Amino acid sequence: MKNPLYYKSKKILVNTLIHIFLISVAITCLYPLLWMVSSSLKTQDMIFKDISLIPHQFRLENYVLAWKEGGFGRNFFNSIIYTVSVVFGIVIISSMAAYAFSRLRFVGSKFLFVMFMAAMMIPIPGSFVALYVLLNKLHLRNTPIGYILCMINVGLSTSIFLLKTFFDKMPKELEDAARIDGCSKVGIWWHVALPLAKPVLAVVIVFNALAVWNEYILALIIFDDRSFMPLQVALQSFQGEFVTNYPLLMAGLTITALPIILVYLLMQKYIIKGVTAGAVVG
C-alpha cells in the first residue's frame, strides 16, 4: 500500500501531461485560424515582415475589398443555394434509401448496397471527366441543377452507410407499434425512423454541408458562367500562379469560414452522439 501523497502526485502528474497534450493539440488547431484572421488585417508586405499575431494597424478594409474584388455577393448566394439544396436532397434520398436497405427485403438489395458502398472508394477527381461528358450529353453542363445533382450523388454513399448502420440497430418494436396505430411504410420512416435518427442526421448534415461549402474543382469544371460559381471559386481569384494576395485571401477565407462554423456550432451537441451511433457502433 503506497501512501496517499504518491497517488495524489501521480494524479497531478498524469492530469498535467494530459492537459499539456490537449493544449498542444488545441494550439495546433487554432493557430492557423488565428493566423488567418491576423493576416486578414495586415498589408501584403506586413505579412512577410511582421510575424506577430496582433497587427500594428488593423486594415478592416481588406474585408470590404475581398467582398468586392472577389465578387462574393453572387457567389455567396450561390453557395447557400447549393449547400441547402444538396444537403436537403442527400438527407431525403439517403434516409429513404438507408431505411429501405435496412428494413425492406427485395431482390438485389445487398448487391445494390455493395454498389453504393463501392462508390465511396472512387476518388471524386477521378470521375470529373466522365461527369462532364455525362452532363454535356444530358444538356445539364453549365447549369446549377447539373451541379446540384452531381453533388447529391457524391454525398449519397457515406450518408446511406451512416444511416443504414443506425436503422439496423433501431428496435423493431417501435415500428410494430406504429404499424398497429395505422402508419404506412412512409409514415414509419417519417414519424418514427427520422426523429430517432436526429443525431446521425446532424452528422450527415454537417459533413455534407462542409463538403459542398468547400467544393470548387467540380464547379470550376462544370460551369463556364462565373455567375453560377460558388464562393470557393471566388477565393481562387486571390491566388495566382506565382503571387498570392494574402490579405484579401485571408479576409475571404474568414468570411467563408463563418457560416460553416455557425452550422457546426448549431449542430455540435448531436455530432459526437451521431458519429458514435452511426459509424462506430456499426
Q: Which residues bind other proteins (CB under 8 A)?
A: 44-45, 48-49, 81, 85, 88-89, 92, 125, 128-129, 132-133, 136, 141-145, 148, 190, 216-217, 220-221, 224-226, 228, 236-243, 245
Cα–Cα distance measured from residue 96 to residue 189, given in angstroms and rounded to the nearest whole number: 7
Apex 153 CA angle, 141 and 103, nearest 5: 150
The smaller minimum CB distance to other proteins, of residues 148 and 202, is found at: 148
- Give per-residue burial for 244-257: e unless 16+ CB within 10 Å, then b: ebbbbbbbbbbbbe
- Contact status, residue 213 vs residue 81, Cβ threshold 8 Å: no
Cα–Cα distance measured from residue 235 to residue 256, given in angstroms and rounded to the nearest whole number: 9
The smaller minimum CB distance to other proteins, of residues 165 and 245, is found at: 245
What is the smallest separation between the CB atom of 25 and other proteins, expressed in angstroms? Answer: 26
What is the smallest separation between the CB atom of 169 and other proteins, expressed in angstroms? Answer: 24
The smaller minimum CB distance to other proteins, of residues 219 and 277, is found at: 219
The smaller minimum CB distance to other proteins, of residues 94 and 237, is found at: 237
| DSSP letter, residue 170 | S
What is the smallest separation between the CB atom of 143 and other proteins, expressed in angstroms? Answer: 4
Cell numbers linked to 218: 467540380
What is the smallest separation between the CB atom of 216 and other proteins, expressed in angstroms? Answer: 7
What is the smallest separation between the CB atom of 133 and other proteins, expressed in angstroms? Answer: 6
- Contact status, residue 253 vs residue 40, Cβ threshold 8 Å: yes
Helix (H, G, I), strand (E, B) or coil at 8: helix
What residues have CB less than 8 Å from 145, skipping those under 6 apart? none
The smaller minimum CB distance to other proteins, of residues 161 and 167, is found at: 167
What is the smallest separation between the CB atom of 270 and other proteins, expressed in angstroms? Answer: 20
- Contact status, residue 218 vs residue 124, Cβ threshold 8 Å: yes
Cα–Cα distance measured from residue 212 to residue 148, given in angstroms and rounded to the nearest whole number: 9
The smaller minimum CB distance to other proteins, of residues 168 and 181, is found at: 181
What is the smallest separation between the CB atom of 201 and other proteins, expressed in angstroms? Answer: 14
The smaller minimum CB distance to other proteins, of residues 161 and 213, is found at: 213
